[in-house]
Amino acid sequence: MDYFNNLSYLISHIFLMLFIYLFIPHRYSKTISRMICLTSFLLLSSTDILKLNIFPDSDLCYLLVTVFQIIVTQSTGLFLAPEISSKILFIGLSASNYTIIGSVIASILYIYTSNIPVSLAGNFLSHAAILLILYKSIHKIWLRQYEHSNSKSWWELCLIPSFFYCSFSCFAFFPHTLQEDPRNILGILCLMITMPVSYIVVLRYMESDSKRQDIYWKNVLFESYIKGLEDQYYLVEQSEKSIRILRHDIRHYTSMIEHLLDEGKYGEIRHITTHINAAADDSRIVRYCDNLIVNSIISKLMEQAGASDIRTNLELQIPREIPVNHYELAAVIANLFENAIICVKNFEPKKRYIDIRINCCREHLLIQMKNECQEALVFNPATGLPKSSKGAAHGLGMQSILAFSEKIDGNIDCFLENGMFFIILFAKFP
């Protein structure tokens, strides 16, 4: 029996490290990552000797070794990954659950066949089959969630693999193994089916929800973009109309100037040229930056700010081609600008002021905005962003900004100082 258990655990540890290696992004090269997994595998296999061979009847030894192995397993994933996060912990806990299934299948086969080679072959094949199924069904979904979803929401999801692991342990290993009490076989088979189904459903739901949110924000952005283009088209029409009128009237102005020159009335000539310059300025279309999409959104929001008598200082350096998604950057700027407008529009006139400075180039992105703020803000301790006081349905704009920042590996800092709210987003591009 010791021979069977040792080999069964050995096979499980091989696939445990393989799962972690495949599903967790690597901070190091492939060679170093493989060495880390090999080291963890040797630690797990060597400590198995303590609980299976040296102290096989000691419940305390079994418990302590199991806790140590859990720490080694989860530390492997956290050490491999580019950064420590709840998403890495989630996949590490999931790896432990997946490998338990293979061990349980081996135990069930041994109970009914008493054939060690058949049981070990079943162990190996079940591990390989489950790993292949999970890799095909959720690997790409998982990587997309890792790259784009908010890591703060994954702490709650870590409870799913944690409870599955505890349930598996109580059913199959502690305080009695399946060989000692095979009555739990039916229950653990149901649990084995429930676990992978739960993972697939949860991850696909999260992907669907992420897509729904992306579609919602894109629709909001496109609506603003279209309105901005409509406003610019209207301005172009008005400008063309004014230029046609000015071109028609320029002949009369020329005649008047020639007549006044003959009479030497230079002061009157200056009045006419001033009037012509003013008419030309009225026909000019304001362009805030070279990026068409951002310029359209800014134009729309500047109109809103003007309607509320809000003074706005704009310093934009956004070229036509930028290293981030045009629409996502425009959405971030629109959210920040709109939040500032909502904040200051009801203040007394001298406090209706917004300062916006944006610099986007091939090397970096810097967004700095400040505005008056008279209310006491509550900041989320996890994200550092202000929490909406209007309920759960609000504050989605800040969530969108946070998601954009995480996507481009940026940093957000915001604070309230002397009645002035500051928010800064900075990202450096490789």
Task: Note the pLDDT tens digit of each residue in 290-333.
Answer: 887 788 788 878 888 988 999 999 999 999 899 998 878 888 88
The sign of the dihedral angle between the CA atoms of 67, 46, 98, 90 is: positive
What is the model's pLDDT at position 151? 55
Q: How does pLDDT run across 197-236, given as a tens digit for each residue?
A: 777 777 777 777 667 766 776 666 566 556 656 666 666 6
Q: How does pLDDT run across 152-174, given as a tens digit for each residue?
A: 567 777 788 888 877 777 777 76
Contacts of 112 (CB under 8 A, 6+ apart): none
Which tops the pLDDT comparison, 186 or 351? 351
Contact 77/94 with Cβ under 8 angstroms? Answer: no
Residue 152 is given by DSSP the state G
Three-class DSSP category at 246? helix
Which tops the pLDDT comparison, 57 or 132? 132
> According to CATH, where is 3.30.565.10 located in the chain?
292-428
**Residue with the two structure tokens 């362009």:** 287
pLDDT bucket at 394, cuts 50 / 70 / 90: very low
Does residue 266 have a pLDDT over 70?
A: no
What is the model's pLDDT at position 58? 82
Does residue 123 have a pLDDT over 60?
A: yes
Which tops the pLDDT comparison, 269 or 389? 269
Does residue 251 have a pLDDT over 70?
A: no
What is the model's pLDDT at position 393? 41
Distance between CA atoms of 292 and 318, rounded to whole angstroms?
A: 10
DSSP per-residue letters across 102-149: HHHHHHHHHHHH--HHHHHHHHHHHHHHHHHHHHHHHHHHHHHHHHHS
Helices and strands in the chain: count of H runs, count of E runs: 12, 5
What is the model's pLDDT at position 170? 76
Does residue 186 have a pLDDT over 50?
A: yes
Domain 292-428 -> CATH class:
alpha beta
Contacts of 390 (CB under 8 A, 6+ apart): none
What is the model's pLDDT at position 369? 92
CA distances from 102 to 13, 96, 331 (A): 10, 11, 47
Does the reported pTM lie above 0.85?
no
Calculate mean pLDDT across residues 345-369.
91
Mean residue pLDDT of the chain comes to 79
What is the model's pLDDT at position 275? 66
Q: What percent of the chain has pLDDT over 70?
A: 78
What is the model's pLDDT at position 228? 58
pLDDT bucket at 111, cuts 50 / 70 / 90: confident
